[in-house]
Structure 1
Amino acid sequence: MNSLNFTFRDTPLTALESGALWWPDKRLLSVSDLHLGKSERFARLGRGTLPPYETQDTLTRLSGDLDRTGAETVICLGDSFDDTAAAQALDEEHRLWIAKLQAGRQWFWIEGNHDPGPIEMGGSHVAELVVSGLTFRHITEPDAHGEVSGHYHPKARIRMRGRTVTRPAFLMDDTRIIQPAYGTYTGGLRSEDAPLCDLMGPKAQAILIGPTPCLLPMPR
C-alpha cells in the first residue's frame, strides 16, 4: 500500500494513494465524494452516457483500502451519491456490497450538497462529525479549526521530467485538510484556481496521490 505519513494538528495521519485518509490510532478511514451512481444520473438527465462501471470500480478500490487497513470506522465525507435518486437506483448487487463493507464497522454518511438528506442505506447519517478534536464535514468553513472536508475535488499541477502532470491531491494548511474526490467519475478543481487559493493559507501544502504520493508546497 503506497502512502505518505504526515501530522496535522499533532495528529498522525496517512494519505493513501487512492485518496483515502487513514487515521491509524483511531482505525478510521475517511473518503470523500464517491459520487456513486453518476452514470445513472447522467443518463436520466439526458447528459449523455458514461460507461456504467463507476460504482463497481469505486467500491472495488474502497474494499481494497478497507482490507489493507482493517478500518473499524468509515467516514464518507458527503456527495457519496450523485443525487438522492441515484442512491435509490443502485442495483441490489451494489447495495449488498455496501452492506458487506459496513458489517462490523461504524459507518458515517456525512451529508453533501448532492445528497443532503438521509438515504435508505445502513450506517449513521449526520451533518458533520467530531472525532477527538477533528471535525469532519463536506464543505470547509471559513473559520475552520482542525477540519477535514471534501467537496472541491482538489487537483495539483506540477512540472515533472519535462512534462506537466496533474494529479488529485490533498490540500492542507494549519487549520484544514481538503481531501481529493475518491469516486471514479469525478473532475476536479486545480489548486491554483481562485476558490482554493482563497481558502488555503499561504504555507499550504499539497499531497499528490497516485503510485507514489508526494508532499510539496501547494501549487498556486
Structure 2
Amino acid sequence: MSAIGLFYVGAVLFVNGFLLMGRLEAKGVAPINLFVGLLQVVTPTYLIFTADGDASTLLNASGLYLFGFTYLYVAFLLFFGLDGGGFGYYSLFVAIASVGYAAVNFVKFLDPVFGIIWLYWALLWTLFFLVFGLGKQELSRYTGIVAILQGWVTCAIPAALLLLGFWGEGVAILTVVYLVFAVVVFGGLYTRERRHFGLPRPVEVEAS
C-alpha cells in the first residue's frame, strides 16, 4: 500500500471507530468513507494499468482493493441506511485474505512488521464480521476502540515513517513492539471491555 493511501486509511479507521462507539452520526461519517474508498480503488487501478505485468506491483495493488471496497461499502451503508449483513460477510473474506497477505509479507517480501500489521487488520476485519455479519452488537465498543488504535499504529504512524524515509530502520525492535502491543493492548482492552458486553450497542448495525 502506498504511504499516502495508508495515511488516509488511518484517518477513516479513526473516524469509523468513534462511529462504532456511538460518538458520531452515521451520515456525518459517510463522506470520509467515500473519499478514502475512491482513493483506494483509483490508486490500484492506475497501478495495474501501469504495472507492465510486474507481479509484485499487481500483488500490492490487489490488496488495496480490499480496503477500497470496504470503505465504499461502508459509505453506501451509511448514506442509505442499508442492512450491514453483507458487509459483515465481506469483512470475513477480507480477514481471511489478510492472513494470506501477512504470509506474503513474511515470506516473499521479508517484511515481518507489515506481516504483523496485516494480522492486525485480519483481527479488525474479523471483529467487523462478528459485529455486522453475526450481529454481535456487544462487541461494537471494543471494535471501535481497536479501529481507532489501529488507525494510528497500523496506518498513520507507518505512513509517516515511510514518507519521511525512516521505515525499515530497527526492524527487529519494531517487530517485537508490534507483537507485544497486540497482546498487551488488544488483550487488555478486551478484558476491560467485557463489562460492556451485556449492554445495548450504541449505534444501529445497518447504519454503521
TM-score when scaled to structure 2? Answer: 0.33
Instruction: Considering fraction of residues, name the structure with more strand.
Output: 1
Higher relative contact order (CA 8 A, sep 6+): 2
